[in-house]
Amino acid sequence: MASFMCDIVTPDAKLVSMEAEMVVVPGSEGSMGFLAGHEPLVSVLSDGEARIKPAGSEDTKSYVLQGGYVEVSADKVIVLADRAISSQDIDATAAREQLAVVEGKMADLSAEELAKTTYAADKVWYETLIRVAGAA
């Protein structure tokens, strides 16, 4: 099967740069899959799991993404995510603990105060980590 480059980039670092045969990302309207030769596309991502099938491998690599965009061309897929982590690196216990902390902080704030924080996004991030860890 034909391959193409796939990069996952966050504001902090480039998490992934590999030759891939297939990439599936969580789009705002549902999952989107890409193969070599795909038509050019730029789309908004949703929080969720991205899966990459590396070239020449039967295994699939999984990553958790929070927000961002995907840019696709015939020979490259670039995922620009607000946050990303390999599914193998998820510590579900720590994510549950962090979720409880964030929910506790959110409970003490008014809607106006909450709007000035990143707690809502943090809550979704930890929920997504827990969901993906449970599916693995």
Q: Is the pLDDT of residue 120 over 80?
A: yes
Strands 4-9 and 76-80: parallel
Across-strand partners of 64? Answer: 49, 85
The pLDDT mean for the chain works out to 94
Q: What is the pLDDT of residue 5?
A: 97
**CA-based angle 32:33:38, to the nearest 5?**
110
Summarize pLDDT for 6-23 with one digit per residue, the tens.
Answer: 999 999 999 999 999 999
Q: Helix (H, G, I), strand (E, B), or coil: what is residue 132?
A: helix
CB burial of 48-74 (b: ≥16 within 10 Å; e: otherwise) equals: bbbbbbbbeeeeebbbbbbbbebebbe
Q: What is the pLDDT of residue 134?
A: 86
Among 43, 61, 53, 45, smallest CA distance to 21 is for 53
Query: Other CB atoms closer than 10 Å to residue 44's CB: what's the count?
Result: 11
Tokens standing for 86? Answer: 């390999």
Q: What is the pLDDT of residue 28?
A: 87
Summarize pLDDT for 15-62 with one digit per residue, the tens.
Answer: 999 999 999 999 988 999 999 999 999 999 999 999 999 999 999 999
Q: What is the pLDDT of residue 135?
A: 66
